[in-house]
Amino acid sequence: MTVITTHKVRFEPVGVEMEVEEGETVLDAAFRQGISLAHGCKEGQCSSCKSLLLDGDIELLKHSTFALLESERDTGHILLCKTHAYSDVTIELLNFDEDLMRRSIPVKSYDAELVHIEHLTHDIRRLDIEISKPLKFWAGQYVDITIPGGVTRAFSMANPPSDGQKLSFIIKKYPQGAFSAALDDSLKPGDKLTAKGPYGTCFRREGRPGPMLLIGGGSGMSPLRSILMDHLESGEQRPVRFFYGARTQEDLFNLEEFAAIKAKLPDFKFIPALSMADGDAHWAGERGFVHEVLARHLKSENFAGEIDAYSCGPPPMIDAILPVLQMNGVEPDHIYFDKFTPAVR
């Protein structure tokens, strides 16, 4: 019989305790026990789970030095998604959010079937799957999907949580992408998949009257659409601005859907920003990178109330957006984001 060695983990300053098995990361142990901690990629790439080791023996697994600098390792900082414990440990959470802890949903694995794949643009696909039993999630969260052959990637739901059994995803196709290229090549309706989740902390916070900003690019549309649809279904009223970065008009999609939402939400604007529209005399909308367009709007709009901002997409885009939000008075604890970091191969 295999004996599993477990250790106690105590999180400060919240005083929450849990156990971790040897060989399991602290973050996975938290997911298993329904304890929601700040996280993003789960792969040592994004730094969202950075914390401080106060006491105990640990091993830090291979991670990106962008996520945790060597100088931070020397001062006892760790990444929870890359930490194995070898004794009881005490960890100080640097980013903790009581709302997040209160709303945690235990992570589970679901059998799924591929239902439909649709071309939205030349390099964006919509994937629809049906899972064996409804998944409870918050709008903006993601699951890890495994396809036949074993490739697993993170994808954010594009549908609102009201339909937890039929899940849609907006996926960018990369040349030779182990998952995304298979959408055009080998994957077909009826294929058996696995979806594990829900993960992610960039989910809609409810009951807030101030303006809501949604900022994304490419397949970052996926979780932002889920948040927007969930907001629409909630009946809540607040100003909503959706800034969407793309290169040319060819990269835009779902435009009719946003026009229909505008008719239902009294103070909603979808603001596409094109970064490569110089030669396009027919484009009457915003030009420039999405963070530049965001900066111009934040200066010219006279918003009342505290702003909540949600941003999803490629890491460089998020890195450009965060300072614009902060310089325009959006409080750091009202900024929620998911960096779509590439998977570690």
Ligand X SMILES: Cc1cc2nc3c(=O)[nH]c(=O)nc-3n(C[C@H](O)[C@H](O)[C@H](O)COP(=O)(O)OP(=O)(O)OC[C@H]3O[C@@H](n4cnc5c(N)ncnc54)[C@H](O)[C@@H]3O)c2cc1C
Give me the residues that bind ligand X (CB under 6 A), please: 40-41, 142, 153-156, 169-172, 174, 176-180, 200, 219, 222, 314, 338, 340-343
**Number of helices (H) and strands (E), helices first, in the chain?**
7, 19
When binding is defined by CB under 6 A, the residue of 44, 140, 239, 315 that contacts ligand FES is: 44
Number of residues located near ligand FES, criterion CB under 6 A? 13
What DSSP state is assigned to residue 280? -
For the CB of residue 192, give the shortest distance to ligand X in the complex, in Å: 18
Q: Which does 67 bind (CB under 5 to 8 A by kind): ligand X, ligand FES, none?
A: ligand FES
Distances in Å between the Cα of 264 and the Cα atoms of 108, 223, 268 are 35, 20, 9
What DSSP state is assigned to residue 342? P
Does 45 engage in binding with ligand FES (CB under 6 A)? yes
Q: Residue 254 — left, alpha, or beta (φ > 0 → left; ψ -120 to 50 → alpha)?
A: left
Between β-strands 77-79 and 240-246, what pairing exists: parallel, antiparallel or unpaired?
Answer: unpaired
For the CB of residue 47, give the shortest distance to ligand FES in the complex, in Å: 5
Backbone angles phi, psi at 227, to 5 degrees: -65, -45
Q: Which residue is nearest to ligand X (CB)?
A: 177
For the CB of residue 89, give the shortest distance to ligand X in the complex, in Å: 26
Q: 338, 312 in Cβ contact below 8 A?
A: yes
Name the residue nearer to ligand X (CB basis): 75 or 176: 176
Name the residue nearer to ligand X (CB basis): 9 or 312: 312
3-state secondary structure at position 13 = coil
Name the residue nearer to ligand FES (CB basis): 64 or 248: 64
Name the residue nearer to ligand X (CB basis): 171 or 294: 171
Number of residues that make up the chain: 345
Q: Which residues of 138-148 are buried (b: 16+ CB within 10 A; e: fewer)?
A: bbbbbbbbbbe
Stretch that binds ligand FES, among 43-51, 111-119, 278-286, 327-335 (CB under 6 A): 43-51
Give the footprint of ligand FES on this chain (CB under 6 A).
Answer: 39-42, 44-49, 67, 79, 81
